[in-house]
Amino acid sequence: MSVTITATAAAHVQKCLQERGKGEGLRLNIKPSGCSGFSYVLDFADDIGSEDIVFEQHNVKVIVAPEAMDVLAGTEVDFVTKGLNSFFRFNNPNVKDECGCGESFNV
């Protein structure tokens, strides 16, 4: 399975990378956190490691560490705007439950 990115999210990432003046793509990872188990970690990748798994859509690379693939397989990265707030949303088919505050999830 792969990790995908919507056209809207890809456009936002491209804009951010252009403003930064460098970067290979968007790094998506997970970390143990919160009351439910995991939280998503996003960062811009300035390099791609030999072990990294790279997915490319809409001219944007999404870079994932191999140890996170079991949890992130099938995830779609989206970027949404609601009112004055804009944020990345993760549509992850592996999530079984989320905490009430939306900061963490379990699989």
**pLDDT (0 to 100) of residue 71:** 92
Q: What residues does each domain of the chain span?
A: 4-94
pLDDT digits (tens, 9 = 90+) for 46-101: 999 999 999 999 999 999 999 999 999 999 999 999 999 999 999 999 888 776 55
The rounded distance, in Å, linking the Cα atoms of 47 and 89 is 24
Q: Which CATH superfamily is domain 4-94 in?
A: HesB-like domain (2.60.300.12)
CA distances from residue 16 to 47, 73, 82 in whole angstroms, order as listed: 16, 25, 19
DSSP summary character for residue 90? E
DSSP codes, 23-63: -SEEEEEEEEETTTEEEEEEEEESS--TT-EEEEETTEEEE
Both tokens of 6, joined, read 């919507």
Return the number of other C-beta atoms located less than 10 Å from residue 83's C-beta. 5
Q: Judge whether residue 102 has pLDDT over 70.
A: no
**pLDDT (0 to 100) of residue 61:** 98
**pLDDT (0 to 100) of residue 106:** 72
